[in-house]
Amino acid sequence: MEVSIGSPFLWTAFLAFVIAMLALDLGVFHRKAHKISLREAAVWSAVWIALALIFNGWIWMHFGARPGLEFLTGYLIEKALSVDNLFVFLVIFSFFGVRDELQHRVLFWGILGALTTRAIFILAGAALMQRFHWIIYVFGAVLVYTGIKLLRERNKEYEPEKNPMVRLFRRVMPVTSEYHGSHFTVVQNGRRLATPLLLALVAVEATDIVFAVDSIPAIFAITRDPFIVFTSNIFALLGLRSLYFLLAGIMDRFAYLKIGLAMVLVFVGGKMLISELYKIPIVISLGVVALLIGGSIVISLLLSKPEQREAERRPAVHVDQP
Q: What is the mean pLDDT of residues 52-66?
A: 93
User: What number of helices (H) and strands (E) belong to the chain?
Assistant: 12, 2
The model's pLDDT over 85-94, given as tens digits with 9 standing for 90+, comes to 777 888 888 8
Query: Is residue 12 in a domain?
Result: no
Q: What is the mean pLDDT of residues 235-249?
A: 81
Query: Is residue 17 in a domain?
Result: no
Residue 321 pLDDT level (bands cut at 50, 70, 90)? very low
Output the pLDDT for position 320. 42
Domains held by the chain: number: 1
Give the separation between CA 301 and CA 297, rounded to whole angstroms: 6
Coil vs helix vs strand at 78: helix
Give the separation between CA 222 and CA 231, rounded to whole angstroms: 14
The Cα angle at residue 77 between residues 227 and 301, in degrees rounded to 5 = 155
Who's near 161: CB < 8 A, 6+ residues apart?
Answer: 95, 167
More confident residue, 34 or 71: 71
Q: What is the mean pLDDT of residues 119-137?
A: 83
320 in Cβ contact with 93 (< 8 Å): no
227 in Cβ contact with 4 (< 8 Å): yes
| 43: Cα separation from own chain's centroid | 19
Residue 226 in this model has a pLDDT that exceeds 70: yes
Residue 311 in this model has a pLDDT that exceeds 50: no
- According to DSSP, the β-strands at 185-188 and 191-194 are antiparallel
Candidate from 197-201, 231-235, 295-299, 302-306 with smallest mean pLDDT: 302-306
Query: Is residue 319 in a domain?
Result: no
Query: Is residue 177 in a domain?
Result: yes
More confident residue, 295 or 104: 295
Mean pLDDT over the full length of the chain = 81
The model's pLDDT over 263-280, given as tens digits with 9 standing for 90+, comes to 888 888 898 888 888 888
Q: What is the mean pLDDT of residues 150-163?
A: 75
Query: Is residue 130 in a domain?
Result: yes
Output the pLDDT for position 60. 94
Sign, Cα dihedral of 169, 174, 178, 183? negative
Query: Is residue 280 in a domain?
Result: yes
Give the separation between CA 92 and CA 158, rounded to whole angstroms: 8
Query: Is residue 185 in a domain?
Result: yes
Query: Is residue 55 in a domain?
Result: yes
Range of the domain at 271: 37-313
